Amino acid sequence: MPVVAPFSGDTRGVSDSSSNGSIVPFSPEAPNHSAVYALRHGLKPPIARLSISWSRGNTLRVSVLRQPSDDGEAGGRVVEVNLSNGDAEISDAQWRRIAYGSVTPFALLQSRRSSVSSLSKMSISPSHYHVDWWEYVMEYSKDIVSLLGHRKSPSGTVIEDPREIVKTVEEPTSLKAAWDLMEIFYADKQSQPWLPERLVDWLTDYDCLLSSTQTTVHSKLVGFQKELVSLQVIEDYPKYWEVISSALAIGWLELVVKMLRLHGSYELDQLGNRETENGLVEAVAVLISKMPRMRLELAEGKAGECFMAKPDFMKAWEKWRAQISKLDSSAYWVECDHLQTREGLKNMLQIMLGNTNSLSAATCHWVELYISHLLYIRPFTVGLESMNSLAQKCMQLKPMSSTHRLIELMVGILGENTEVVLAECSRAFGPWMVAHATELMTAGSDQAEVLLHEERDNLGEMSIAELHRLVYAQVLASHVLTWQIAPVYLISCMKQGMGLLELLLCKQPVQHNETLLKNIEICRLYDLDSVSSNIMKVAGVYHWKHGRKGAGVFWLQQARDEVRLNRIAKYLFDSVGKSISDESFKQWEGLIELLGSESKTAGGLDFLHKYRDFKKSLKQVQVGKTTDASRQAAESLISLMKNPSTPQQFWLPLLYDSLKLLNWQERPLLSVSQTNLLLNKLQELSMAKLRPDFIEVDLPPQALSSVRLALATNLGRAILEE
Amino acid sequence: MEKSLVDLENGTTCSSWNYSGQRLAAGSADGFLSIFDARDSASSSFTRSSKSRVHDTGIVKVVWIPPEYGDAVACVCADGTLSLWEEVVEDAQPLQWKLCKSFKSNSSQVLDVQFGVSLSGLKMVAAYSDGHIRVYELLDPLELKNWQLQIRNNLIPPRHAFLPLSLLYDFRFVLMATCIKLLETTNASLCLFFMRCPFEVWEFDQAHQRWLPVAELALPGNKGDQVYSVAWAPNIGRPYEVIAVATHKAIALWHLGLIPDTDGRLSVEQVALLSGHAGEMWQMEWDMSGMTLATSGSDGKVRLWQSNLNGVWHEQAALEPTT
């Protein structure tokens, strides 16, 4: 399936000026033809219609609808396509492991970036922090590399079987190779003086990957390994010498030494006759294992002698070469009877002396030739410019028959062409790579920093670095197991990250409490209050409408959704207000309790709480007897009617329900002022009736007049009593 | 790799996913509405949870209502009725899909409908065959029964109209494309077709509570083009909006500025003209970041369009359905 992460391919030629002299020509034009992918739906044609819908992240759902027919087959099928299936080399589970593992290093680096930038704003000497930045990036890079697999060197594996020269180990991934390459060139400032040697190591680790597109030294060695078992007199066999010089050319020294020791002259029964020959073989082997290397360190078991400083190395290098020349012109060669050995060893000496023809003959790929040049001709090569010109020369000498994504990447890096590197990262290694590798690139050069962090009108004012993080976040959002880590990348995007994060969160389902709580937690983490209240609102409505009234009210309260809570309160008034004896009162009592507990969120609920108490006390009132209960009921009626939060539509039902209080036989329960208050409310009610928004209540037609009469009677009796 | 999610019944005419992609609503030619649900949030296996008869005639379009108003869909039927259906538990009854509201008119038919959430509540924009755009407002956020007609905009009084609609998600704008086809028969052997399509962007003026046209998306040469579909890209932080308008010629992508000039008009710029689908365009959908546009058309293909870093739009890939 296609990698259709946005902007996955054509990132070349971002700016005209920097593309001059680029290897990939600047092309503002879109590609003429796009890739066509088959979408298998398994339905019988004809297809009447296609309906499309985006799901999580980069997932597209296509409804394929057939013409109606009577053939008994399905009328259509919905097919889901994930447009961001990354590297086929790496399994989905492995990808998720990498995705999860890279979150912490990425987040740590971002927080360091922000603290460094805030420190540098305050500090007088910001350069102090600038100097240390690459060290942070290196730490980040090491963390990332450890996720991509362990370093396994397929060549120099010396193991028990003396005849096993190349051990078949688990293949390293191109992704790791690419990351290592970028680390070498961009992030690892400490190793800059030893760049050629780091490249030698890189090829040692990854030459096997290049075999996928063409012959390499590694593939030759693997081929020879198979033949080795059946060979009797190894030194008679031309391929032995061919392979051995190839391995020497690219610096697999310990392997070469090991292979030399397979030479027949080492056999105990041969030693006597072939003393000189064996001496020569051993002399070459010793010279090889003494080769001076300008590098920081040499791993244990590696051949060569390590020099860190250039002057020391120079001295040793000259001495070593003098020894080779001396051996080359020695008289012992004449005494060597074995032709193949003589010529093979002589050729090896030529390789070590840096004979261009010998190097070219021994290597397969231009990168191998390049490495051999760095090893034997120009070990002091420094600076990308000279490294690049050497690479160009090697490419001319050994033109590529086919391309490999790692080589394309290397060409971009050597050409100091940030756009090409970015495009290659994106095209060949996918959104994860480009989102994470931009950190290496920006550490590498100011030009890359500007290019990647500059705001662009074409991109809606965001930078390229931000764009790639958005793209990667969208890929993460495509999967139910990875969407939770997308926010880490989105919040690092100043311009549009928050917008996408909000959308992403709003698209998460609310039905399951677990996901809902996770969503809310993410909102809390990033101060997305409005999103979180919207999510809770959706959850509240969902539960309310699906019969879980309590959960509905709870979430709406959490969302502080006054409008809907008031509406629910009103709904409850209607249910509760019908009659005291109504069963619905009991049904809603629990809900009112819940609503009442946090009545501050909705004014109307405060009323409902009081209303329930009033209804309860009214129930306890026994007709005819003046008790505390009846007095209390009258008091709550007055307090309810006084309370401004009591909805107008409830005034009349309240009074109508209280008729027995108003018509109290024994003595009037309400004072003159209390009765006047109620009469005024009644008056206000008749005025309100004229307004268009007046809500008519469901009461018997004589309700108003009977309330009025009761109040008038009560007033009269109260006046007399007072 | 493609994965099959749902098998639809014979006669299915339209389908629509809800906000989270967990529910699918499908309408059929015999007027049935089917709902398919995922078993759980991680599952990609969907089963039908409900099937109900919506109307005597076929359903031509199903649209989900925004989730803060419940699990509900609007069905546009072939005879031009519009009905709103909601999944609810009422009183002691089990969970079921119920009709909340039906919009019927003798004189005109509903052709398209869209929903948008504004600060004041849920709005529904419906396009009618008489050339009217009607904007309704929901009165009660918990009941989908009560709608109030907010505006009725008479675009052109034609005899036959086709109106694709698109709303911006926050309901600041509504985009209406009217494509009017007038058929005038002067005699039995001669038919004249007259088509025109101004596609306009309208904005709701909160201060005066009215709708105003703020931009027109058409080049002078394209005024007569037939519009198949319009789609508004989600805006996650761009200083401009991106709108795709598909005509019978090509897909035009427009940038719409957000700062009005002194006349209250918004600047527009056509940034791309994409051709690929031969024939009619069926549908256009933007992904959540607004960076990829997916389109489907009568050539039977799904095409994906993207811009490069220079702002040049191109076809990134095409999906061709095969058995």
Beta bridge pairs of residue B174: B167, B202
Instruction: Kindly report the average pLDDT of chain A as a whole number.
Output: 81
Tokens linked to A393: 């020369």
Express each pLDDT in A340-373 by its tens digit.
888 999 999 999 999 999 999 999 989 999 999 9
Chain B residues with CB-CB distance to A420 below 8 A: none
Q: How far is A456 from chain B (nearest CA, A)?
A: 9
- Tell me the DSSP string of A575-593: HHHT-SS-HHHHHHHHHHH
Write out chain B residues lying below 8 Å of A544, CB-based: 142
| Phi, psi dihedral angles at B8 (to 5 degrees) | -100, 155
Confidence of residue A693 (pLDDT cuts 50, 70, 90): low
Q: Give me the CATH code for the B175-322 domain, please.
A: 2.130.10.10
Mean pLDDT of A608-628: 73
Average pLDDT over residues A415-435: 88
Distance from first CA to last CA of chain B, Å, rounded? 15
User: How far is B190 from B186, CA to CA, in rounded Å?
Assistant: 6
Between chain A and chain B, the number of residue pairs with CB atoms below 8 A apart is: 297
Q: At residue A119, does pLDDT exceed 80?
A: no
Query: What is the per-residue pLDDT for A87?
Result: 65
- What is the C-alpha separation between A374 and B279, in angstroms, rounded? 59
C-alpha A666: how far from chain center: 79
- Find chain A residues with C-beta within 8 A of B88's C-beta: 545-547
| Yes or no, beta carbons of A62 and B302 under 8 Å apart | yes
Q: Which residues of A touch B319 (CB under 8 A)?
A: 36-39, 60, 62, 81
Task: Pick A30's closest partner by Cβ from B86, B292, B308.
Answer: B308
The residues that bridge with A40 in the sheet, in sequence order, are B322
Q: Is there a contact between B302 and A63 if contact means CB atoms under 8 Å apart?
A: no
B3/A79 CB distance under 8 A: yes
Distances, alpha carbon A521 to alpha carbons A230, A265, A515, A516, A518, in Å: 66, 74, 10, 9, 5
Tell me, yes or no, if A45 comes closer than 8 A to chain B by beta carbon.
yes
Using CA atoms, how far residue A244 sits from A223, A225, A229, A285, B279, in Å, is: 13, 12, 16, 11, 64
Q: Please give the pLDDT value at position A430.
A: 87
Q: How far is A481 from chain B (nearest CA, A)?
A: 8
Task: Name the B residues in 134-173 with CB < 8 Å from any A CB.
Answer: 140-142
Which residues on chain B are in Cβ contact (under 8 Å) with A497?
237
The reported pLDDT for the residue numbered A588 is 64
Task: Report CB contact under 8 Å: A41, B236.
Answer: no
The arithmetic mean of pLDDT across residues A395-402, rounded, is 84
Q: What is the DSSP letter of A619?
A: H
Average pLDDT over residues A149-158: 51
Closest CA–CA distance from residue B155 to any residue of chain A (Å): 29
Nearest CA in chain B to A512: B41
pLDDT score recorded for residue A20: 30
**Residue in chain B lying closest to A86 (CA):** B1
Alpha-carbon distance of B105 to B110, in angstroms, equals: 8
SS3 content of chain A, % helix, strand, coil (to 5): 60, 5, 30
Contacts of A470 in chain B (CB under 8 A): 289, 291
β-strand partners of B112? B127
What tens digit of pLDDT does each residue of A193-205 get?
888 888 998 998 8
CA–CA distance, B168 with B243 (Å, rounded to integer): 10
Q: Which of A365-374, A465-474, A665-674 has the lowest mean pLDDT?
A: A665-674
Terminal-to-terminal C-alpha distance of chain A: 92
The parts of chain B modelled with pLDDT lower than 50 are: 155-162, 169-171, 177-196
For A22-36, A48-62, B146-160, which range has the lowest pLDDT when averaged over its residues?
A: A22-36
Beta-carbon separation of B29 and A563 below 8 A: no
Q: CA–CA separation, B300 vs B323, rounded Å?
A: 13
User: What was the pLDDT predicted at A115?
Assistant: 83
Tell me the domain boundaries of chain B.
Answer: 175-322
Q: Within 10 Å of residue B155's Cβ, how many Cβ atoms?
A: 18
Torsion angle defined by CA atoms of residues A115, A117, A121 and A127, in that order, rounded to the nearest 10 degrees: 110
ipTM above 0.85, yes or no: yes
Contacting residues of B for A37, CB less than 8 Å apart: 317-320
